[in-house]
Amino acid sequence: MNENELSFEEAMVELEKIVEQLEEGDVPLEKAINYYQDGMKLSKVCNDKLINVQEKMTKIMNEQGELKPFDLQEEE
């Protein structure tokens, strides 16, 4: 399946599996590199989907039709 066809939740589950594999430490170097590359792709998919949602929320939140910034706040 293409990474872009995954939902945000599916991409996060796959990313978590990769992180678990890498954290175990028993992964051969070449496999670890492949996991890392796949993880970066999934991370980009998640980020792109969040940006898309942010843009949609900006449009929805503004009743006058003017685009105003809407920033997602990260928990600290």
What's the CA gap between 40 and 30, in Å, rounded? Answer: 15
> Quick one: tokens of 26?
């028993």
Residue 16 pLDDT? 95
Each residue of 9-39: pLDDT tens digit?
999 999 999 999 999 888 899 999 999 999 9
Each residue of 39-69: pLDDT tens digit?
999 999 999 999 998 888 877 777 556 655 6
Residue 75 pLDDT? 56
What's the CA gap between 49 and 43, in Å, rounded? Answer: 10
pLDDT-based confidence at 1, cuts 50/70/90? low
Q: Where are the alpha helices (DSSP H) in the chain?
A: 8-24, 29-61
CB 72 within 8 A of CB 54: yes
